[in-house]
Amino acid sequence: MLTIATWNINSVRLRVDTVCRLLSEQQPDILCLQELKSPTELVVTDEFAALGYKHHVLRGQKAYNGVAIISRLPLMDLGSRDFLGRGEARHVAAGLENGVVIENFYVPAGGDIPDRAVNPKFGDKLDFVGSLRDWGLREQPKRTILVGDLNIAPLEEDVWSHRQLLTVVSHTPVEVNLLNSAMQAGGWTDVVRHDIPTGKLYSWWSYRARDWDASDRGRRLDHIWATRDLVSNNHNARILRQVRGWPKPSDHVPVLATFDC
DNA sequence: ATGGTAGGTCTCCTA
């Protein structure tokens, strides 16, 4: 069995103790992080190693982006993709000894206005997900788990109000359709919705709410996908809502799934 | 209809 977690940590240096708490309490085999907000050389990995997480592949960047895969199991660095061609640290991949591949992505948030003509950041987001779709179509991945902050909540029950978020970046039809086409092109299954098909499910709550828990205006932006050869009936996918209530929290919470592999 | 908070950082950019 392999348990994998994904978490947008929003500064790994500020939250190294928070990461250690998650590792100690949940004991995933692999933890994928996004938004390290740190150069590679300033990420302290010793404390993860002390907990048994001795292996990592890491792509840092000053102030923005940054992704890492930290692991109890040996990893082969499979490199990173640069879909926007700007050297942004938004992807890293690793291979396990059993042949399973882990793909860790941080999709651009896309700015505030869902119109690429007036908001280039929205165009970048669509281009990034389009590249993700094209890559999946080309490669037809096998024995692969794709995780990350995809910054899109595809289903009506992935947002607190489908109607009110139709025009809000993260849940617009153009983004949702593109994400669905990427899922289909690569042969991916949404593992979390495979395990928890109905009901509201969120992995992110804004910092701007007076009381995130009471207002509960969340969105499911963080995802675990897998190729069909890894999908079985016993994944035990889960989203750790309570982590949003920890001291000095990230605005995202960890998403976990367990695989028979 | 609006503004609200957080993190990193060439005091404003990104989310």
Q: Which tokens in the block code for residue A104?
A: 């860790």
A42 touches strand B (CB under 7 A): no
Chain B: positions less than 7 Å from a protein CB are 3-9, 14-15
Q: Is the pLDDT of residue A14 over 80?
A: yes
Q: Is the pLDDT of residue A117 over 90?
A: yes
Quick: pLDDT tens for A213-243.
999 999 999 999 999 999 986 779 999 999 9
Scanning every strand, the nucleotide with its C1' closest to A206's CA turns out to be B5
- Three-state secondary structure call for residue A252: strand
How many angstroms separate the CA of A53 from the C1' of B6? 28
Averaged pLDDT, A28-48: 97
Q: Looking at residue A235, what is its pLDDT?
A: 77
Quick: pLDDT tens for A137-146.
999 999 999 9
- Say how many CA atoms lie within 13 Å of A12 toward its Cβ: 32
Identity at A197, one-letter amino acid code: P
User: To the nearest whole percent, how much of chain A has pLDDT over 70?
Assistant: 100
Quick: pLDDT tens for A96-115.
999 999 999 999 999 999 99
On average, the pLDDT of chain A sits at 97
Burial A147-180 (b: 16+ CB within 10 A, else e): bbbbbbbbbebbbbeeeebeeebbbbeebbebbe
Question: In sequence order, what are the residues at sequence separation of 6 or more whose Cβ sits closer than 8 angstroms to the Cβ of residue A139?
Answer: A186
Averaged pLDDT, A204-221: 97
Write down how long chain A is.
Answer: 261
- Nucleic chain B contacts, protein chain A, residues 178-237, CB cut-off 7 A: 206-208
Terminal alpha carbon distance of chain A:
5
